[in-house]
Amino acid sequence: MAPKPDILFIDSSVQKIDFARREALAEKFNIIQYDCKSTEEFKERLKPGGPYSNIVAISRNGWLKAGPLAKQLPFGTDVIPYYPPSLKIICCSGHGHDASDVEAITARGIWYCNTPNACTEAVANTGLFLVLDSFRYLSFAQWCARNDWLQSRDLGQKAVDPTGKTLGIVGLGDIGLGIAQKCEAAFQMEIRYQGPRRKPQAEETLKGGAIYHSSVDEMIPHVDCIVLAAPYTNDMHHLLSKRQFELAKKEGIRVVNVARGKMIDDDALLEALGTGRVVGAGLDVHTDEPGINPQLRDNWRVTVLPHIGVCSATSWENFEKINLDNIEAYFTSGEPITPVNNIKN
């Protein structure tokens, strides 16, 4: 009897394992648990004759930002040349894939799959909270309640309700649309959005519709709060910088980021906070994670979170399900369900 093909599981310390499905998968495949201390060790194990030299699939599961493997980049440019010819598919938790060199993976003829819509609810809820906080400064108010009650009195002339205000979203995908729907329902906000193309079907899910803008610069003068919910690419680096903040309404704009920290120029944001062009910000992501720009951390008009928008049991369950769905679909039909790339057979 021929040996079962090898599948490598890279498991986070924070995840939800579907034991029944994994046991069923183990009847057809030999499941290997990744335990490399570094990507250099990973490269060695991938070499001919190594323990990973015959893997046909890799599944990276759970919360990528948690546990001892959080800093490892197994799908980075420097690792891909070591992949064995047997590797056919990579499945990775999460919406974004900026930590993976998808172009190089595609050039090797390997499918790369993410888990779209898996953490939409969790991140959209976080976005809703950050929008509200950018108007009302409730995180600062909580700090005041715990540490210095009198400082909270400064909020009296600064806090504003978001009700009836205009929300601009960069990236009206699953998460961006989720935030738009929640803000419209909760605060009756008018929705505008920017992206590479108009999305009529997404617009129709909103009671008040949505106004499309072809560029961020065109949208900013019309909105009271801008939310970044788009994938990070080199073209999106410092999408919000000095020029964009100068285009804001004279009353100032609120900035919310649940995408990637490098989409905002921190120095420009701090300058805009100083001049009043930006009057509030909610940041779940940061330029140099883990860690936060100390000037942003210490500014009471900025709510900062430690990249926990995804952090929900619902997300972990969905990550596991979609990764396993992709593996099963590929080895059954030859094509996965949620590929980022396209491998021509």
Residue 8: enclosing H or E segment and its boundaries? strand 6-11
Of the residues 60, 97, 136, 307, only one is catalytic, namely 307
Asked if residues 48 and 99 have their Cβ atoms less than 8 Å apart, the reply is no
Chain centroid, CA 287 distance in Å:
13
Helix (H/G/I), strand (E/B), else coil: 4: coil
Distance CA 308, CA 126 (A): 8
Tokens at 94, concatenated = 């999460």
C-alpha separations of 189 from 11, 116, 225 in Å? 40, 26, 10
Q: What type of residue sits at position 36?
A: C
Of the residues 44, 121, 289, 335, only one is catalytic, namely 289
Residue with tokens 């129709």: 204
Provide the H-helix boundaries in the chain: 19-26, 39-46, 102-107, 120-136, 138-147, 174-187, 200-204, 216-219, 242-246, 266-275, 294-297, 313-333
Tokens at 285, concatenated = 């992501």
Q: What type of residue sits at position 96?
A: G
- Those residues whose C-beta lies under 8 Å from the C-beta of residue 212, and which sit 6 or more positions away, are 192, 193, 194, 195, 198, 199, 203
Of the residues 60, 97, 260, 286, only one is catalytic, namely 260
* First-residue to last-residue Cα distance in the chain: 28
Instruction: Respond yes or no: is residue 190 known to be catalytic.
Output: no
Helix (H/G/I), strand (E/B), else coil: 128: helix
Asked if residues 140 and 155 have their Cβ atoms less than 8 Å apart, the reply is yes
Asked if residues 280 and 137 have their Cβ atoms less than 8 Å apart, the reply is yes
Distance CA 133, CA 124 (A): 14
Instruction: Respond yes or no: is residue 136 known to be catalytic.
Output: no
Helix (H/G/I), strand (E/B), else coil: 104: helix
Number of other CB atoms surrounding residue 214 within 10 Å: 12
Instruction: Respond yes or no: is residue 95 known to be catalytic.
Output: no
Active-site positions read 260, 289, 307
